[in-house]
Structure 1
Amino acid sequence: MKIKRKIEIAVISDVHLGTFGCHAKQLLTYLNTIDPKKLILNGDIIDIWQFKKHYFPKSHLRVIKKIMDMATDGVEIIYITGNHDEMLRKFSNTKIGNISIVDKLVLDLDAKKAWFFHGDVFDVSIQNAKWLAKLGAYGYDVLILLNRFVNWCLERLGRERYSLSKKIKDSVKGAIKYISDFETVASDLAIENGYDYVICGHIHQPKMLIKENKNGKTTYLNSGDWVENFTALEYQFKRWKIYNYNNDHLRAFYVDDEVKDMEVSDLIAAITIIDPKK
């Protein structure tokens, strides 16, 4: 019997299912270690921008099935739409059983207000030149694919994995400024609206810090991603924590045996067993 950690809220974002960069097996291992009351999917879970009929591995299907199973078991699943899964915004404010789709979310957490949204609303390239943003996304996907080959070679040489895209972003002044501006704008808006926490995704940079201005302060949090950082946010005992798979995961937990050979028909069956009357 597997012992799972009970937590109030788990937040994941930027999984990008359907792309070469997605690390679905690691995410599935993580989901198998937790028993949350709420699972918040903060955007870009399924990458509809780069969806390819010929590439959607079983491990990616297993993540979807796992989330459906969690909903069936009573976990509240809240899917906040992002830019890569923006097609789901047509279904905003839809609720089926324990699964709901929204564009943003506000929760009361132990007498404090938490504001959740993906964060692409701040991205000018997406708002004003979507074709340019998509072109950049394709380039990023190619870089991730190249990075996987590099890491395959490094692992066989007994060396540590290396993130090309993270190295580039950490060294380019424009990227550093963009991240800083993103955090400041999100935090200023949260302070202006009286939110104690602002929780985003989108920029693939896990972070937790106190942001202040002349009008007050807030806690800015970012759940990171499951492409480069393998991170999530967890809320328990009135505290937020950044979970890092590489440092925090329990090696005793593995992917469930019963989903190893799952086919698309099994996924459809998993979706249809959700009872909307629950």
Structure 2
Amino acid sequence: MQGQKKRKVDLVVISDVHLGTFGCHAKELLLYLDSVKPKKLILNGDIVDIWQFRKRYFPKSHLEVIKKIIDLSAKGTEVTYITGNHDDLLRKFTDVEMGRISLVDKLVLELDGKKAWFFHGDVFDASIQNAKWLAKLGGWGYDFLILFNRFINWCLTKMNREKYSLSKKIKNSVKKAVKHIQDFETVASDLAIENNYKYVICGHIHQPQIVRKVNKFGTCLYLNSGDWIENLSSLEYHDGRWSLNYFKKEDYAPEVVTEKDVKDFQGMLAAITITSQPEKNK
């Protein structure tokens, strides 16, 4: 993206990046962040995955995402980090401000005269509130599924075949998962309408969405920024309009695979092997 003019955007929302996990697409996120110049950047939860953090795995590209966010704030972008469930340890520091970076649990903004309510969305998830250990265990399994899927897609790409999402296939085939997403959207929208918010913007369920919600009390626009594990999606608000953006590799300069990339991949595989081995009693 060097030398290419950056798009000016009023507001960018990203969530569920999960830095520190094998499934995170940090390099793609860096390309996206290099392509925009937002007035405001809202990080809507689960940016750093503290639940699944491993000392053995935090690649340079993951660190560069953090550096890029700090760099954006230094150049004038107002950055708001809304805590999620995978980075809930940061909630101890709620309302801390460092320059143009602030840390909050939720956020209300007025966008062109309309109230917008931003929060991650884990407060609606009973599995997290009532059995955090079970949710964490599920997170580890999801991480390995995503990594395995990336290996499959690497093989499919070599054979000039279309990529395939195992997790999306599983989610779409399980009625309970589909109902969970629908219930999440309904609860968030009903609460927004009850509190006179015209927009409600969430993350958490890794399901990018912009949809008009209506009940007997009124209407609001429900938005979800998706994730940077499977969908590689973000929300943008500019000139009074919302848009949902998906990362497309063809929109950027072709990526050259270097010897360092190969070593990083080998290191990732080594980290998986070490992580999967049971610890011996000391």
Q: Fold-level match, TM-score > 0.5?
A: yes
- Superposed CA deviations along residues 230-254 of structure 1, whole A, max 9, x for unmatched, are 000000010000011128x732497
Runs of 4+ in 1 over 6 A off after TM superposition: none
**How far is the alpha carbon of 1:152 from its aligned partner?**
1.1
Which residue is 2:75 aligned to? 73
Residue of structure 1 in register with 2:265 after alignment: none
Residue 116 of structure 1 aligns with an amino acid whose one-letter code is F
Instruction: Deviation per CA, 1:182-226: give whole Å up to 9, x if none.
Output: 000000000000000000000000000000100000000000000
Matched with 1:34 is 36
- What is the SS of the residue equivalent to 2:205? coil
> Match for 2:131: what amino acid?
A
2:132 maps to: 130
Q: Compute the RMSD of aligned alpha carbons.
A: 1.5
Unaligned runs of 5+ in 2: 262-282
Partner of 1:265: none
Distance in 2 (CA, whole Å) between partners of 1:158 and 1:254 is 17
- Indicate the residue corresponding to 1:153 in structure 2: 155
Distance in 1, matches of 2:29 and 2:165, equals: 18
2:9 to 7, 10, 13: 7
1:167, 1:99 → 2: CA distance?
37
- 1:14–1:225 contact (8 Å) kept in structure 2: yes
In the alignment of these two chains, the number of paired residues is 255
- Secondary structure at the aligned position of 1:32 is classed as helix
Amino acid corresponding to residue 173 of structure 1 in structure 2: K
Match among 211, 214, 222 for residue 213 of structure 2: 211
Q: Secondary structure at the match of 1:44?
A: coil
User: 227, 230, 251: which one pairs with 1:228?
Assistant: 230
Partner of 2:251: 250
CA contact (8 A) 1:29 1:253 kept: no
- Contact 1:15 1:46 survives alignment (8 Å): yes
One-letter amino acid matched to 2:177: A
Q: In the TM superposition, what whole-angstrom CA distance separates every residue of 1:158-187 from its partner, at most 9, and x where no partner exists?
A: 112111001111111000000000000000
Instruction: Give the whole-Å Cα distance in 2 for the aligned partners of 1:112 and 1:254.
Output: 41
After superposition, the C-alpha distances for 1:12-51 in whole angstroms (9 at most, x for unaligned) are 0000000000000000000000000000000000000000
Using the size of structure 2 for normalisation, the TM-score is: 0.88
1:181 matches 2:179: no
Structure 1, unmatched stretches of 5+, are 261-278
Matched, 1:22 2:24: yes
